[in-house]
Amino acid sequence: MNVLVLNCGSSSVRFQVIETDLERIAQDRDRCLARGYIERIGSLALVTLEATGRPKRIETYPLRDHRAALDQVLRWIVASDSGIDGIGALSDIQAVGHRVVHGGERFTRSVKIDAAVLDGIEDTIELAPLHNPANLKGILAARELLGPAVPQVAVFDTAFHATMPETAYLYALPYSLYRRHRLRRYGFHGTSHRYVSYRYRKLRKLTREKVNLITLHLGNGCSACAIKGGDSMNTSMGLTPLEGLVMGTRAGDIDAAIIPYLHQKEGLSVDEIDTLLNKESGLLGLSGLTNDMRELLDEEREKGDRRARLAVDIFCARARKYVGAYLAELGGADALAFAGGIGENSPAVRERITRGLEWMGLTLDPRRNAAMVGGKEGEISKAGSRLKAYVIPTNEELLIARDTVRTVLGAPAPARKARARAAK
Ligand code: ADP
Name the CATH code of domain 2-185 (choices 1.10.150.120, 3.30.420.40, 3.90.1010.10, 3.40.630.30). Answer: 3.30.420.40
Q: What is the pLDDT of residue 243?
A: 97
Comparing 63-67, 230-234, 241-245, 414-418, which segment has the lowest mean pLDDT?
414-418
Determine the distance separating the centroid of ligand 1 and the alpha carbon of 115, expressed in angstroms.
38
Determine the distance separating the centroid of ligand 1 and the alpha carbon of 347, expressed in angstroms.
12
16-29 average pLDDT score: 95
pLDDT digits (tens, 9 = 90+) for 305-335: 999 999 999 999 999 999 999 999 999 999 9
31-55 average pLDDT score: 94
Could you list the beta-strand ranges (E) of 91-151: 95-100, 111-112
pLDDT digits (tens, 9 = 90+) for 371-412: 999 999 999 999 999 999 999 999 999 999 999 999 999 887
Q: What is the pLDDT of residue 388?
A: 98
Determine the distance separating the centroid of ligand 1 and the alpha carbon of 229, expressed in angstroms.
30
Q: Which of 220, 295, 299, 344 to mutate to test the pocket of ligand 1 (most atoms within 8 A of CB)?
A: 220
Structure pTM? 0.95
* 236 Cβ inside 6 Å of ligand 1: no
Q: Which pairs from 374-378 meet CB under 8 Å and 24+ separation?
A: 374/344, 374/345, 375/344, 377/199, 377/203, 378/203
Q: What is the pLDDT of residue 415?
A: 66
* 292 Cβ inside 6 Å of ligand 1: yes
Q: Which of 342, 346, 376, 392 to mutate to test the pocket of ligand 1 (most atoms within 8 A of CB)?
A: 342
Q: What is the pLDDT of residue 421?
A: 53
Q: What is the pLDDT of residue 223?
A: 98
Q: What are the residues whose beta carbons fall under 8 Å from the beta carbon of 367, sequence distance 6 or more?
A: none
* 46 Cβ inside 6 Å of ligand 1: no
Residue nearest to atom 25 of ligand 1 (CA): 294
* 301 Cβ inside 6 Å of ligand 1: no
Q: What is the pLDDT of residue 131?
A: 86
Could you list the beta-strand ranges (E) of 118-192: 152-156
Q: Which of 289, 294, 372 to mutate to test the pocket of ligand 1 (most atoms within 8 A of CB)?
A: 294
Q: What is the pLDDT of residue 143?
A: 96
For the cut 80, the answer to whether the pLDDT of residue 413 exceeds it is no
Residues with active-site annotation: 157
348-368 average pLDDT score: 96
* 297 Cβ inside 6 Å of ligand 1: yes
Q: Which pairs from 350-354 meet CB under 8 Å and 24+ separation?
A: 350/380, 350/389, 350/391, 352/312, 352/313, 352/316, 353/216, 353/316, 353/319, 353/320, 353/323, 354/320, 354/323, 354/389
> Domain segments of the chain: what residues?
2-185, 208-393
Q: What is the pLDDT of residue 129?
A: 82
The secondary structure element, H or E, covering residue 262 is: helix 258-266
Determine the distance separating the centroid of ligand 1 and the alpha carbon of 158, expressed in angstroms.
22
342-346 average pLDDT score: 98
* 393 Cβ inside 6 Å of ligand 1: no
For the cut 50, the answer to whether the pLDDT of residue 125 exceeds it is yes
Determine the distance separating the centroid of ligand 1 and the alpha carbon of 370, expressed in angstroms.
16
Taking the CA of residue 340 as reference, the ligand 1 atom at the shortest distance is 6
* 219 Cβ inside 6 Å of ligand 1: yes
Q: What is the pLDDT of residue 126?
A: 85
Q: What is the pLDDT of residue 420?
A: 57
Q: What is the pLDDT of residue 422?
A: 46
Question: According to the 3-state scheme, what is the secondary structure of 205-261?
Answer: CCCHHHCCEEEEEECCCEEEEEEECCEEEEECCCCCCCCCCCCCCCCCCCCCCHHHH
* 370 Cβ inside 6 Å of ligand 1: no
224-245 average pLDDT score: 97
Determine the distance separating the centroid of ligand 1 and the alpha carbon of 294, expressed in angstroms.
7
For the cut 80, the answer to whether the pLDDT of residue 416 exceeds it is no
Residue nearest to atom 7 of ligand 1 (CA): 341
Taking the CA of residue 222 as reference, the ligand 1 atom at the shortest distance is 2
* 340 Cβ inside 6 Å of ligand 1: yes
Q: Given this chain, do its domains 2-185 and 208-393 carry the same CATH topology?
A: yes
Q: What is the pLDDT of residue 417?
A: 72
Q: Does the domain spanning 208-393 belong to CATH 3.30.420.40?
A: yes
Determine the distance separating the centroid of ligand 1 and the alpha carbon of 91, expressed in angstroms.
36
Mean pLDDT of the chain: 95
Residue nearest to atom 19 of ligand 1 (CA): 341
Comparing 118-127, 139-148, 188-197, 263-272, which segment has the lowest mean pLDDT?
118-127
Q: What is the pLDDT of residue 424?
A: 44
360-375 average pLDDT score: 97
Are residues 33 and 51 in contact, defined by beta-carbon separation less than 8 angstroms? yes
